[in-house]
Structure 1
Amino acid sequence: MAKWTAFPYDSADYTYDAAALKKHWARLHAGDAEPWPKDEAAQRAWALYHAGQFQQAVDAGLKAGGAGLTAANKAQAIYANYLEKSEKTRLALLLEVAERAEAQARAEPKNANAWYLMAYALGRYSQGISVTKALAQGLGGKVKGALETAITLQPRHADAHIALAAFHAEVIDKVGKLLGKTQGADAATGLRLYKEAMKLNPASAIARVEYANGLVMLEGEKKMADAERLYAEAAACEPMDAMERLDVEMARAELEDE
């Protein structure tokens, strides 16, 4: 495996030993509602993930198996989305996660994060190749179905709510409300899901960023002020791990570009 781009910020604040990881677990996993893993090898993989040691987290998680596989898939998906510089490599990494997560979902059909990470990876891959092309390949239905399964299995999965809301918003943004209906996309449903995600994980920067993007996609320029307020709130969030730091920095960069 080629050497991955390092997490670009100081990870000291996001480095948790086993006791600290358990203590902060509920807050760290407010987005994905992942249960505390009993296996110590899986705990180590998750600690590496939270510290931004994404490549090491993948290696450790794949070796650990079980709950470690979820840590590996999330680490690879987040790395690919935020830090991988080559678009070709990024898409390949996302497809690999989607395939591993799909196999995990078949083996553990009640594992909400197997379904979620399959959908997350496919969703980001779809954005990379273009949403319209992804819809033509039938990926839209696969993403939507996997996210709905994740929410059915774990109704408190804030990140699955965000991703499903984004599915509705992106499809309508790219193909319009009428054609969007044929893909199962609905503006009111998308807006409701964004709001639910914000209630489920009120400390989330990414919920605010995605909600801001969704408001503009679904309701246009008239929601620009609301979107800017959400971005400002996201930029002011206090990150608890590497992924949250990347989300906060993304929001800050967006505000500086305006």
Structure 2
Amino acid sequence: MAHWTAFPHLGEFQYDAASVSQAWQRLHAGDAEPLPADPRVLQAWVLFHNGEFQQAMQAGLEAGDGGITCANKAACIYANYLEKKEKVRLALFQEAAQRAEQQAAAHPDDPGAWYWQAYALGRYSHGISVAKALAMGLGSRVKEALEHTVRLQPRHADAHVALGAFHAEVIDKVGSLIGSMTYGAKKDVGLRMFQEALRLHPHSPIALIEYANGLVMLEGDGKLKEATRLYEQAAALQPADAMERLDVDLARAELAT
């Protein structure tokens, strides 16, 4: 396996098993993932929260079924934020989607299996263009997997964010009428999903960022001022771990441009 690009703030977060366990509710406010009983899985999460994404993925895979969600989250977050080569990014998303699909088949009641399948396919869709992905039927798979995630775990804030983004992006690409008739995308549902995500996890930088983007896609340039305010909120947050640091960095970079 090729060596991954290092998290740019390595050493900023220095969690161990005890401190990750203590901070678990805050660290997993977005995905409502249960605290693992298996120490090998917990150690994979320690690596993830510290920004050691490649090691987290490997440790998660080595831990067996219980570590697959951590492995997929590490691979997807790394691919989304840090991998420079598009071909490698897309391959990482495809691999994560395949692992998550197998995980969902084996453990259909595991919300993480459905969510990471949707996330990986969604980010893969961005890489090949949303319009092309919709034509390939990936949009329906993403939507169904996210809706299944929310049914299994109504407190999964990240799934609400992703559903909001789905509705916004489809409407932005094909319009409200075709979006609604063909893909079930609706403006009011998208906005409600973003708002519910922030109710569940008000300190989520990615929820603020995606809500800002979604507002402009769904409501137009008249919402630019509110979107900027949401970006400013995200940029001002104190990140709890490496993933949130990447989100906060993204917000700050957007504001700087």
- Aligned equivalent of 1:148: 147
Give per-residue Cα distances to partners, 1:145-194, cap 9 Å, x unaligned. 00000000000000000001100000000111111011110000000000
Asked if structure 1 preserves the Cα contact closer than 8 Å seen for 2:10 and 2:50, the reply is no
- Note the 1:20-169 alignment, pairs <5 A: 20-169=19-168
Give the SS at the match of 1:33.
coil
Q: Which residue identity does 1:129 align to in structure 2?
A: I
TM-score (structure 2 length as normaliser): 0.99
CA–CA distance in 1 between the matches of 2:10 and 2:52? Answer: 11
- Aligned equivalent of 2:201: 201
* 2:226 paired with 1:233: no
Q: What is the deviation of 1:16?
A: 1.2
CA–CA distance in 2 between the matches of 1:11 and 1:140? Answer: 38
Give the SS at the match of 1:37.
coil
Q: Which residue identity does 2:229 align to in structure 1?
A: R
Give the SS at the match of 2:199.
helix
- Aligned equivalent of 2:211: 211
Give the SS at the match of 2:23.
helix
Q: What is the deviation of 1:235?
A: 0.1
Q: What is the deviation of 1:65?
A: 1.3
Asked if structure 2 preserves the Cα contact closer than 8 Å seen for 1:11 and 1:242, the reply is no
Q: What is the deviation of 1:9?
A: 1.0
Give per-residue Cα distances to partners, 1:46-90, cap 9 Å, x unaligned. 000111100000110000012211100100000000000000110
Q: What is the deviation of 1:15?
A: 2.0
Give the SS at the match of 2:109.
coil
Q: What is the deviation of 1:205?
A: 0.5
CA–CA distance in 1 between the matches of 2:175 and 2:109? Answer: 34
CA–CA distance in 2 between the matches of 1:193 and 1:70? Answer: 23
- Aligned equivalent of 1:172: 171
Q: Which residue identity does 1:40 align to in structure 2?
A: P
Q: Which residue identity does 1:250 align to in structure 2?
A: L
**Which segments of 5 or more consecutive residues in structure 2 lack a partner in the other structure?**
none
**Which segments of 5 or more consecutive residues in structure 1 lack a partner in the other structure?**
none
